[in-house]
Amino acid sequence: MKQGLMRVLLCVPLLGGVIAPAAWAADLPPLVSIENEVLRISLAQNDASITVTDKRLGLDWRQQVASGFRVVSPSINRPGDSIAAEIAGPGGPYALTLTMNPDCPHGFDAVLDLPGRKYTTPPAYPFPFAAPADDWFYVQNTTGEGMLMPLAKAADIKERYEFSGGQPWWGLTDLKRGMSARLNTFRSQAARTNVYAVPLRMHYDFFEDGGYQRLAKTYREQFLRSHPEMKKLSERVPARPAVASLKDAVYVYLWGASPDEDLNLVREMKAAGVERGIAVCYGRHEIDRALFDGIKDVDWVAGMYKMPTGNLFQVSRRRGWPADLLLGKVAPERFLASSNLAGWDRVCAKHLLPEWTEKAKGFIGDYGTQLFYFDTMVVQLAPCLHLDHPSTIEENQQARLQIMRATRDLGMLVGSGEGNSPTWALPELDFFEGLMSIRTYIDTPLSIPGGDYAKDLGDSEQEHVSLDETRRIPLYQLAFHDYVGSTWVWRDTNYQSAQFAWKKELFNVLYGTMPMWHIDRQLWDLHKKDMLASYQRIHAVRARIGFAEMTDHGWLTPDRSVQFTDWNNGDRIVVNFGDTPFTPNGKQPLPGRSFAVEGSK
């Protein structure tokens, strides 16, 4: 696009022409506009709303305007590509800058400053864009995978228009046209309270085709441009061979009564046909070198559950205290005086980095571990007030990335998650536990498996919501399947609810992701036939696509019961979630609750 094509307009739309600025009438508030050959961006002075006109489609994107807002003092910076304005309204004042970038003709950048503030909860401004029609969908990134929620049932959508998911963007689509809003600056999600750093830097894109799939791919492209150092999972294997297990292994938490029982269980699973496994010891009993050597002897990966950074409650039982500090709801000096001083040593990653690095070397030397799972490290962020090692919450986040990086530099496979799967951690992680689960909508109350899966959850609301194939979409897998491994959260494993195990298996097949099991003697003896058969079905698919890029996802039936994913190796995975056979044109019927691989190999 040529820079010279971008124009600045100050005008009032009238029937038959444009009225000059000096003649603006009180009942016809003026617009301030910038445009290129694709979009026109207009800011209305009377209500501070933004309208985007897509010239390709002749479509006006308008916002859901709230009362009480207006532009105080508009001005044009660098004529041709930017609008700057002061906005008055509830929660303000706000300073807004809108900019068009020649490298992105279908989008624009917005910077929102709130003078005098460093952090804010989701602000009332700018307003969210409204769908052009009632039959559109809200494209939502949850704590894990994506949801496609009908806007006709807007009350069902949680945390609408917030950057609260693992990926910090949301969108609107009619399954062809679409738009997305992305946050490019820091956010904190502790205790279900979303806090954004000020100023907020956002980007908006508008598309004439591609649906939610294009929205996901656009985020992928932007993220990878911002992190050129990131390697695909397949490219990490030569330096860290354990990464290969993420392609087609099952993730197993061992709950045996002793190291000997755990090792015997692993050997039995291997002998039964579970060729590829990741065995993680949670800490129910002491571990020993013989257990880890035995796991590796059967070509499984031996891993440890660890928390280099501790729980926020170690500092204070006040729920949501990090957000309260950031938002000024509690005085730092007063909070520090009432806190557990030793707890700060456990949540401050900058303080813990040297200590953890030495501990990790000891674990590797003593046990020969190949993997560390860092529970909640990417979730429990907070500023540190300790006088000996103070840090901002942003510095804490960076120090956590350094811990992950230092651990990978020791040759380890590294994962985290449990409560969320934030993309800020992607550059230094190999897998997210819990990415397959959708905790934005509902979370399981369990702590450990009870021994008989059917008694753990039964016919639970959890499964009906998170496994709803009519609403669930693989936004994370479309973006990053070839860059990060994914599994269910440990309270939501494949067999946590026996009657829904078939459906979780089919989602693992469709998305090419890791199944997760809890194993002790009783669980294995009761369910090994079903588990082995499930493993073999999933493994047969993941051996082909486990490290591939997902290039597309969609439905083959109007009720969305039959879905497909396409992969960059030429494979197509077709899954029938329904109970009746699906018969595509000229092909063999696909029975209900089953899948097929259509590939080039």
pLDDT value at 84 more than 70? yes
Total count of residues recorded for the chain? 601
Which residues are CB-contacts of 54 (< 8 A; sequence separation ≥ 6)? Answer: 38, 39, 60, 61, 206, 208
Q: Give tens-digit pLDDT for 546-568.
A: 999 999 999 999 999 999 999 99
Q: Give tens-digit pLDDT for 129-142.
A: 999 999 999 999 99
Q: How far, rounded to the nearest angstrom, does the alpha carbon of residue 40 sit from its chain's CA centroid?
A: 31
Tokens (6 digits) for 575: 């899954």
Q: Which of 183-192, 320-329, 345-354, 521-530 has the lowest mean pLDDT?
A: 183-192
Looking at residue 77, its pLDDT comes to 59
Residue 347 lies in a domain: no
Looking at residue 173, its pLDDT comes to 98
Give me the number of domains the chain comprises: 1
d(CA 103, CA 84): 20
Q: Give tens-digit pLDDT for 245-289.
A: 999 999 999 999 999 999 999 999 999 999 999 999 887 788 999
CATH (domain of 29): 2.70.98
Tokens (6 digits) for 397: 């986040």
Higher pLDDT among residues 446 and 513, named by residue: 513
Q: Give tens-digit pLDDT for 355-382.
A: 999 999 999 999 999 999 999 999 999 9
Tokens (6 digits) for 522: 């009783």
Which residues are CB-contacts of 556 (< 8 A; sequence separation ≥ 6)? Answer: 562, 563, 564, 574, 582, 584
d(CA 539, CA 545): 10
Average pLDDT on 572-587 reads 94
Looking at residue 28, its pLDDT comes to 39
Query: Treating both helix axes as pointing N-terminal to C-terminal, what angle do 349-367 and 393-409 enclose, rounded to 10 degrees?
Result: 20
Residue 412 lies in a domain: no
pLDDT value at 5 more than 50? no
Residue 88 lies in a domain: yes
Tell me how crowded residue 104 is: count the other CB atoms within 10 A of its CB: 18
4-40 b/e (C-beta count within 10 Å ≥ 16 → b) = eebeeeebbeeeeeeeeeeeeeeeeebbbbbbbebbb
Looking at residue 4, its pLDDT comes to 37
Average pLDDT on 389-396 reads 97
Residue 159 lies in a domain: yes
Q: Measuring CA to CA, which residue among 308, 319, 323 is closest to residue 372?
A: 308
Looking at residue 324, its pLDDT comes to 96
Residue 216 lies in a domain: yes
Q: Give tens-digit pLDDT for 407-458.
A: 999 999 999 998 789 999 999 999 999 999 998 887 766 556 666 777 776 6
- Where do we find the tokens 């992969």? 567
SS3 letters across 252-281: EEECCCCHHHHHHHHHHHHHHCCCCEEEEE
Tokens (6 digits) for 166: 């693992």
| Domain that residue 165 falls in | 3-226
Q: Give tens-digit pLDDT for 8-35.
A: 444 433 333 333 333 333 333 488 999 9
Helices (H) and strands (E) in the chain, counts: 14, 32
Looking at residue 344, its pLDDT comes to 98
DSSP 8-state secondary structure symbol assigned to residue 430? S
Tokens (6 digits) for 387: 């006088």
Q: Measuring CA to CA, which residue among 275, 512, 301, 255 is closest to residue 413?
A: 301
Residue 72 lies in a domain: yes
- Where do we find the tokens 């039995």? 268
Q: Measuring CA to CA, which residue among 461, 441, 466, 397 is closest to residue 164?
A: 441
Tokens (6 digits) for 506: 């089919």
Residue 452 lies in a domain: no
Mean pLDDT of the chain: 91
pLDDT value at 150 more than 80? yes
Question: Are 71 and 87 in contact, with CB atoms under 8 Å apart?
Answer: yes
Percent of the chain whose pLDDT exceeds 90: 83
Residue 82 lies in a domain: yes
Average pLDDT on 42-54 reads 96
Looking at residue 463, its pLDDT comes to 76
Percent of the chain whose pLDDT exceeds 70: 91
